[in-house]
Amino acid sequence: MAREKGGPLIGLCAVVCYPLTHLLGRRRFEGLEHIPEAGPVLVACNHISYLDPIYTAVFLHRRGRIPRFLAKQDLWRVPVLGRVMAGTGQIPVRRGGIEAGESLRDAEQALEQGKAVLIYPEGTVTRDPDHWPMAAHTGVARLALRSDVPVVPVVQWGTQRIYDHYGRRFRPLPRTNVTVRAGPPIDLADFRADARRRDVDRSLLREVTDRVMGQIRDLLAEVRREQAP
């Protein structure tokens, strides 16, 4: 399968984002081999800073992939940024029952087209004081069960030292290390078999979500070289 080609807006984003990831921190990319070079993939990430998407986007682009982020719909209302989000095929997350379902269908369609879809299961930057993942929404589980595609955990660490949203701190200097690491695809075969045999209920969705977040937490613990809570 041929790699997806990016358009002018993707090129513009690369021109902006690549230098930023060098200027803001000393980046270290690990585990790129776990991201398929082509074909559908659902990338599930932790979220510790609003700088995360910049580093994750460059991380996937280095693998030859164009990331499709599930992002808050409000970003589409921001001048210039909204046009870039729309022009690069990003997926707006709409709040509320029916509209939220439409967002997941858009993500499903992108996966069916062989694209790389990226989701932050927590839905926002973690409020945990030590920057461990919070309890997550079940959207990642719904996508994982509906689409038989690899689900790859990706974690970042270090961006919170540069920009801490809740602490209202921006400290680009001294430059700090920023690590982005992908882990092996998460084994969800047992849950997918269950989904074929019975209705997908809240209990099953929570179990799938917890397994995904457990893998993200453990991968983050490896990067941090700390015991996860």
pLDDT tens for each residue of 111-142? 999 999 999 999 999 999 999 999 999 999 99
* CA nearest neighbour of 127 among 74, 164, 154: 164
pLDDT of residue 158: 97
pLDDT of residue 1: 46
pTM to 2 decimal places: 0.92
- Under CATH, what is the fold of the domain 8-158+172-224? Glycerol-3-phosphate (1)-acyltransferase (3.40.1130)
Which residues of the chain are under the pLDDT cut of 70? 1-3, 95-100
pLDDT of residue 100: 58
Domain ranges of the chain: 8-158+172-224
Torsion of CA 132, 119, 116, 51, to 10 degrees: -60
